Amino acid sequence: MLNHLLTITCMLCLVRLSHEVCVDVPSETEAVLGQSMRLTCIDCMKREEVKVRTSVDWYYRPNETSSRIPIYKNQDGKRESLDSPLKGRLLWNGSHDMQDLSLRIQNVSFTDSGFYQCRVYREFQFDYFTPTASTIKNISLTVIEKASEDPTAIYSEIMMYVLLVFLTFWLLVEMVYCYRKISKSDEQAQDTATNYLAIPSEQKDSTAAPVTE
Ligand SMILES: *[C@@H]1O[C@H](CO)[C@@H](O)[C@H](O)[C@H]1NC(C)=O
Ligand SMILES: *[C@@H]1O[C@H](CO)[C@@H](O)[C@H](O)[C@H]1NC(C)=O
Ligand SMILES: *[C@@H]1O[C@H](CO)[C@@H](O)[C@H](O)[C@H]1NC(C)=O
Ligand SMILES: *[C@@H]1O[C@H](CO)[C@@H](O)[C@H](O)[C@H]1NC(C)=O
Judged by its nearest atom, the ligand closest to the C-alpha of residue 99 is 2
Is CATH 3.30.365.10 what the domain over 23-147 is classified as, yes or no?
Answer: no
Closest Cα to atom 14 of ligand 2 = 93
Question: Using a 6 Å cutoff on CB, does residue 66 contact ligand 1?
Answer: yes
Question: Ligand 3 centroid to 176 CA: how many Å?
Answer: 62
Report the residue among 59, 61, 63 best suited for mutation to probe ligand 1: largest number of ligand atoms under 8 A from its CB. Answer: 63
Cα–Cα distance, 86 to 84 (Å, whole number): 5
Residues 164, 167, 169, 172: is their CA dihedral positive or negative? negative
Report the predicted TM-score, pTM, of the whole model to 2 decimal places. 0.66
Q: Give bridge partners of residue 100 from the DSSP assignment.
A: 42
Question: Ligand 2 centroid to 41 CA: how many Å?
Answer: 14
65 CB contacts (<8 Å, ≥6 apart)?
A: none
Atom of ligand 3 nearest to the CA of 89: 14
Helix axes 151-197, 2-17, angle to 10 degrees: 140
Instruction: Give the SS3 label for residue 191.
Output: helix
Which residue in 58, 83, 60, 36 sits closest to 140, CA to CA? 60
Question: Using a 6 Å cutoff on CB, does residue 107 contact ligand 3?
Answer: yes
**Listed range (1-10, 28-37, 61-70) with the worst mean pLDDT:** 1-10
Polymer length of the chain: 213
Question: Using a 6 Å cutoff on CB, does residue 81 contact ligand 3?
Answer: no
**Listed range (3-17, 41-55, 98-112, 147-161) with the worst mean pLDDT:** 3-17
Burial 92-126 (b: 16+ CB within 10 A, else e): bbbeeebbbbbbebeebeeebbbbbbbbbebebee
Question: Using a 6 Å cutoff on CB, does residue 35 contact ligand 3?
Answer: no
Cα–Cα distance, 85 to 99 (Å, whole number): 27
More confident residue, 185 or 109: 109
Cα–Cα distance, 165 to 189 (Å, whole number): 36
Rounded mean pLDDT of 199-205?
51
The type of residue at 204 is: K
Judged by its nearest atom, the ligand closest to the C-alpha of residue 104 is 2
Question: Using a 6 Å cutoff on CB, does residue 188 contact ligand 4?
Answer: no
Atom of ligand 3 nearest to the CA of 106: 14
Question: Using a 6 Å cutoff on CB, does residue 138 contact ligand 4?
Answer: yes
Dihedral pair phi/psi, residue 89, rounded to 5°: -120, 5
Dihedral pair phi/psi, residue 204, rounded to 5°: -65, -40
Which residue in 96, 131, 116, 97 sits closest to 37, CA to CA? 116
pLDDT digits (tens, 9 = 90+) for 119-174: 999 998 888 888 899 999 999 999 999 876 777 888 888 999 999 999 999 999 99
Question: Using a 6 Å cutoff on CB, does residue 65 contact ligand 1?
Answer: yes
